[in-house]
């Protein structure tokens, strides 16, 4: 049985106000009626062919499905024998969130959209496991989960979608595509609008990538893909990172920057691909950004916390770098008045690096399978095995 808590496409105004609308119907998998009544739905959904009937149904909650996409995924049928609630809007209040999850056995998190702390966990006496789409990060208080015997299950990820988004932002920014499109809709032909006196001459025209220097800080899975895209476009690829990172880049035939300062000074496009941890938090300073060319582009699809607080706004006030493209923010969702949204030389996307169909199937299939496996005693996906010794509900 699926208990689906979600918005109706026929009533977007209610969704925008944060209300939950409910529907009741006997439907086919992946289909939901557009009419609604204000009662919770218990929707019968056939199990996948050949799937065994479980002896008990878990209460599973999926938070922050902004686009109402999860219940339409093929892998959603993995949970056909369980009581599943899908919430489409985000609530920040501790009381509201605790109320939503009061009876939950298993919680599915979509990346870092909701923070899980000790205060919330204390209000969830039934919670046995948290299944993370992708890898667990700092949004989950892992120690608090361990102390309470709550298992955190880690999923899988893919570098392809975020690497492709990074490249899409690079191309869009360097050719000023968002600005040209926005002005065309206002009746302005071949006008990017990027022509203030503080900008370099003809900055608004845009420029090709071939022959430019692509700087990449961080040469992991995503950084490697972006480097390959740059090479394919005829760019000069310049890598920086820890010693083993630089050695790996050199082994792949890429040039390594002489220094951190040189990376910022020489890059026409600089893309950040570092993991966020204590050593990298705030690693990019305003002084680093001030070394960039007034015509250069900074791209961040990794974590906003890699930048020192206010470093980007401070550097942009001095027109360094000339363009910025970002997909990550201090707090999400961002509000309409967010300062960077008002800057014409900044492209903001709503944290969609992993938001596309294939990645969702991959992420959620792993998250759902981990829940089912853990329920049957398989602990291979547990990120905090010490929690298993705490005697939480079994």
The token pair that represents 307 in the structure block: 């930048």
Q: Comparing C-alpha atoms, which of 92, 83, 34, 40 is closest to residue 62?
A: 83
From the candidates 7, 100, 111, 303, which is the catalytic residue? 303
The answer to whether 332 is a known catalytic residue is yes
Question: In which residue are the tokens 């938001």 written?
Answer: 355
154 classed as catalytic: no
Tokens of residue 275, six digits = 């993991």
What are the φ and ψ backbone dihedral angles of 347, each rounded to 5 degrees?
-105, 125
Q: Are strands 213-217 and 323-326 parallel, antiparallel or unpaired?
A: unpaired
Q: Which two tokens stand for residue 269?
A: 């496009």
Of 110, 112, 111, 118, the closest CA to residue 142 belongs to 118
User: Which of 11, 39, 12 has its CA nearest to residue 23?
Assistant: 39
CB 239 within 8 A of CB 247: no
Q: Is 276 exposed, middle or buried (0-12, 13-18, 19+ CB in 10 A)?
A: middle
- Give the C-alpha separation, 183 to 94, whole Å: 42
Distance CA 212, CA 311 (A): 25
Q: Is 351 a catalytic residue?
A: yes
Structure tokens at 266: 């020489």
Q: Which of 164, 332, 344, 361 is flagged as catalytic?
A: 332
Active site residues: 303, 332, 351
């Amino acid at each position: 049985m699926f208990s689906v808590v979600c918005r109706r496409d026929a009533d977007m105004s209610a969704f925008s106000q944060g209300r939950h609308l409910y529907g009741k119907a006997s439907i086919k998998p992946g289909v939901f009626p557009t009419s609604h009544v204000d009662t919770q739905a218990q929707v019968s959904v056939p199990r996948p062919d050949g799937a065994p009937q479980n002896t008990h149904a878990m209460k599973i909650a999926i938070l922050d499905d902004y686009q109402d996409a999860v219940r339409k995924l093929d892998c959603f049928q993995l949970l056909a024998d369980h009581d599943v609630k899908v919430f489409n809007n985000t609530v920040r209040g501790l009381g509201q969130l605790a109320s939503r999850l009061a009876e939950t056995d298993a919680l599915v998190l979509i990346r870092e959209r909701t923070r899980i702390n000790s205060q919330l966990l204390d209000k969830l006496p039934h919670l046995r496991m948290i299944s993370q789409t992708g890898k667990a990060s700092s949004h989950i208080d892992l120690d608090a989960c361990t102390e309470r015997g709550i298992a955190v299950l880690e999923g899988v990820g893919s570098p392809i979608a975020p690497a492709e988004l990074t490249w899409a932002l690079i191309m869009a920014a360097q050719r000023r595509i968002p600005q040209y499109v926005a002005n065309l809709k206002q009746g302005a032909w071949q006008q990017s609008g990027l022509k203030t006196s503080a900008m370099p001459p003809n900055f608004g025209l845009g420029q090709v990538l071939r022959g430019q220097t692509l700087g990449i800080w961080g040469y992991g899975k995503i950084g490697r893909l972006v480097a390959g895209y740059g090479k394919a476009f005829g760019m000069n690829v310049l890598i920086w990172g820890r010693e083993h990172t630089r050695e790996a880049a050199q082994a792949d035939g890429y040039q390594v920057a002489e220094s951190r300062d040189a990376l910022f000074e020489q890059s026409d496009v600089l893309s950040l691909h570092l993991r966020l941890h204590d050593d990298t938090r705030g690693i990019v300073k305003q002084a680093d950004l001030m070394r960039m060319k007034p015509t250069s582009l900074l791209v961040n699809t990794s974590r906003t916390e890699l930048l020192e607080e206010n470093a980007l706004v401070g550097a942009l006030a001095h027109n360094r770098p000339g363009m910025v493209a970002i997909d990550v923010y201090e707090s999400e969702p961002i509000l309409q008045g967010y300062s960077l949204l008002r800057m014409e030389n900044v492209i903001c996307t709503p944290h969609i690096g992993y938001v596309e169909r294939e990645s969702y199937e991959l992420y959620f299939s792993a998250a759902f399978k981990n829940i089912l496996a853990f329920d049957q005693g398989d602990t291979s996906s547990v990120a905090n095995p010490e929690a298993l010794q705490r005697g939480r509900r079994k």
